[in-house]
Amino acid sequence: MQTPNRTLIVGAGLSGILMAWELEKRGVDYEVWQSPDSSLNFASRVAAGMFNPVSFKRLVSVWNAVEHMEIMRKTYLELEEFLNLKGAILHSSPILRVFPNAQYRDLWAKRLDDAHEVSIWLNEIDGVADVGKEGPEEIIAPFGFGIVRDAGWVDLPLLLNSFNSHLQSKGRFFANDWSFNTQTNDTFNRIIDCRGVGASSDLASVGIKVQADHGEVLTLRSRLDTKGMCINRVKWLLPRGDSVFKLGATYKWNIEQSAPTDEGRTELLSSIRPIISPEVFDEFEVLNHESGLRPASTDRRPYAGPVPGNDGLFILNGLGTRGVLVGPATAAHLANHMFDGTPLPQDVSLARLKSLRD
């Protein structure tokens, strides 16, 4: 029998679609399967799609920020062009970080004075009052705020729906379940498993741990004018146009069945309440409340590469909280490895996992 030369991508969330794009560019013959079970809350359908090169906790750049920002921009712009959606997928939305106290403001100032590596993303400190110098009037920031210029968001529903339509038009998309037990050797010589938390039990059987990180997000309507900026204080409030905002997100481990909770809604609203003028806050109208399970690795770096002991099986998983930013570079690394033999960076390679070496 002839060996097939066709690749199967399992999963049509962000990681599956980014992989599909890498294969599309290379002219590789492939198809995409996605579970027909739409009751499962997969992450990409609820994610707000934000990207931010700065970690606010310690005020440093996030892992590999420069490389990831560059590849991210390039990839989503290519996808906009390919899908005929110029200007519709990748959106700029600087983040206005409301300082929690004077120490944080001093740290921000010091990062700028020291020309610290993170300073390439930071604006000078602004408005130290209820009404910021260049900030929105309805934001309360007694310690002032700083701005991260290069942040923004990706319209994931638009990207996923449009890429799926493309796949369907080419006869490449199928609503099929797949697991390690599915027999596909006659049809595919290569499988890329992009099932997010749907792969958890199969991957656990080979020593790779994917944890489910439950997250909730609200969609709000408000007359608040943030001048196109995303507001951050503990949680983030992201303007999506037409007076609609996303407010997110919560984090909770070890929840198998993800569903929106009253606790999550309260946590989200109360986090943002102190920085919004009461008249505006009281008029917030909650339009939607969603939840999903983020696929998280054990060390907050994605998993990419061949699954040991399983010929022709590869994974892209563990995109965690920053899938939009880290996904494009990681998918590109995996494709370069599969098709050009380029070694995978140690940070993302499965070879780093102690569980696979022992």
Ligand X SMILES: Cc1cc2nc3c(=O)[nH]c(=O)nc-3n(C[C@H](O)[C@H](O)[C@H](O)COP(=O)(O)OP(=O)(O)OC[C@H]3O[C@@H](n4cnc5c(N)ncnc54)[C@H](O)[C@@H]3O)c2cc1C
Stretch that binds ligand X, among 99-107, 162-170, 214-222, 268-276 (CB under 6 A): 214-222
CB closer to ligand X out of 41 and 222: 41
Taking the C-alpha atoms of residue 7 and residue 192, their distance in angstroms, rounded to an integer, is 8
Q: Cβ 215 to ligand X, closest distance in Å?
A: 3
Taking the C-alpha atoms of residue 273 and residue 265, their distance in angstroms, rounded to an integer, is 12
Q: Does 303 bind ligand X (CB under 6 A)?
A: no
SS (H, E, C) 186-253: CCCCEEEECCHHHHHHHHHHCCCCCEEEEEEEEEEECCCCCCCCEEEECEEEEEEECCEEEEECCCEE
Site string for ligand X, 217-256 (x = CB under 6 A): x------------------------------xx-------
Which positions from 38 through 67 interact with ligand X, judged by CB under 6 A?
Answer: 42-44, 46-51
Q: Does 198 bind ligand X (CB under 6 A)?
A: yes
Q: Which of 56, 178, 284, 303 binds ligand X (CB under 6 A)?
A: 178
Cα separation of the two ends of the chain: 37
Which positions from 314 through 353 interact with ligand X, judged by CB under 6 A?
Answer: 317, 319-325
Q: Which of 6, 7, 20, 40 is nearest to 199 (CA)?
A: 40
CB closer to ligand X out of 52 and 123: 52
Q: Which of 295, 305, 306, 328 binds ligand X (CB under 6 A)?
A: 295
* Chain centre to alpha carbon of residue 269: 22
Stretch that binds ligand X, among 31-39, 86-94, 130-138, 342-350 (CB under 6 A): 31-39
Q: Cβ 95 to ligand X, closest distance in Å?
A: 11
Q: Which of 165, 179, 266, 288 binds ligand X (CB under 6 A)?
A: 179
Sequence-distant (≥ 6) Cβ neighbours of residue 300 within 8 angstroms: 63, 320
In 40-150, at which residue ranges do the beta strands (DSSP E only) sit? 50-51, 54-55, 60-61, 90-92, 95-98, 145-148
Binding residues with ligand X: total (CB under 6 A): 42
Q: Cβ 38 to ligand X, closest distance in Å?
A: 8
If one counts every other C-beta atom within 10 angstroms of the C-beta of residue 161, the result is: 12
Q: Cβ 290 to ligand X, closest distance in Å?
A: 7
Q: Does 159 bind ligand X (CB under 6 A)?
A: no
Sequence-distant (≥ 6) Cβ neighbours of residue 91 within 8 angstroms: 152, 153, 154, 155
Q: Per residue in 307-321, is it b (16+ CB within 10 Å) or e — as a string?
A: beeeebbbbbbbbbb
Sequence-distant (≥ 6) Cβ neighbours of residue 14 within 8 angstroms: 43, 44, 47, 156, 160, 319, 323, 324, 327
Stretch that binds ligand X, among 4-12, 23-31, 95-103, 307-315 (CB under 6 A): 4-12
Q: Cβ 278 to ligand X, closest distance in Å?
A: 27
Q: Does 302 bind ligand X (CB under 6 A)?
A: no
Q: Cβ 177 to ligand X, closest distance in Å?
A: 4
Stretch that binds ligand X, among 100-108, 109-117, 131-139, 210-218 (CB under 6 A): 210-218
Q: Which of 67, 177, 263, 283 binds ligand X (CB under 6 A)?
A: 177
| Token pair belonging to 222 | 């408000």
Q: At what angle do helices 14-26 and 323-340 cross, to 10 degrees?
A: 40
Stretch that binds ligand X, among 53-61, 63-71, 222-230, 289-297 (CB under 6 A): 289-297
- Which burial class, exposed, middle or buried, applies to 248 when counting CB atoms under 10 A from its CB (0-12, 13-18, 19+)? buried
Q: Cβ 324 to ligand X, closest distance in Å?
A: 3
Residues of the shown chain interacting with ligand X in the complex, contacts defined by CB under 6 A: 10-16, 33-35, 42-44, 46-51, 177-179, 194-196, 198, 215-217, 248-249, 292, 294-295, 317, 319-325
